[in-house]
Amino acid sequence: MGFHFKFHKLLEIEKCREEDLIKELKASQRQLRDEEKLLGLLQSVLTLQQSEMEAKLRTQAEVGVFILFESYFSKLKRDIALQKSKVKEAGEKVNHVRESLMAVFKKRKMLEKLRERCERGYREHILRVENKHFDEVAASRFYQKRRKGNPP
């Protein structure tokens, strides 16, 4: 009978959890990048529209245009604030998944080291048993040869 690690199933479960968390981490990092890109886009639109408003105000002095731009800017600022909160949430999710992944990784590594230690102990035990068996065989042959050579 070969070596059997009694926590093998637990080790396999941890490997599967680690793979799942790696996939989840990649997805959450992708989501964070997308949210950051959208935030950057909104901020660039705001600066672009502000420069456009300044140009319009230089040519026209109508109050309606100014009010229209200001309402649009306030909406853009609300959208930017909302997007910043989404970026923050996505960043927190990435950190949470990363911490979970590290915990699973450490547990898996601990189980692998335990398995290696148990396997090394098993091999040493098998080697001792084999050596003991060979010693007994050698001693038995020695006594049998001695008996045949020197009858009492």
pLDDT at res. 145 = 84
Average of per-residue pLDDT values in the chain: 90
**What's the whole-model pTM score?**
0.72
pLDDT in tens, 26-45: 999 999 999 999 999 999 99
pLDDT at res. 1 = 67
**b (16+ CB within 10 A) / e for 77-102:** eeebeebeebbeebeebbeebeeebe
- How does pLDDT run along the chain (152 residues), one tens digit per residue? 688 889 999 999 999 999 999 999 999 999 999 999 999 999 999 999 888 888 877 777 677 777 887 888 899 999 999 999 999 999 999 999 999 999 999 999 999 999 999 999 999 999 999 999 999 999 998 888 888 876 55
The DSSP result for 122-148, as a single string, is HHHHHHHHHHHHHHHHHHHHHHHHHHH
Distance CA 8, CA 11 (A): 5
pLDDT at res. 151 = 56
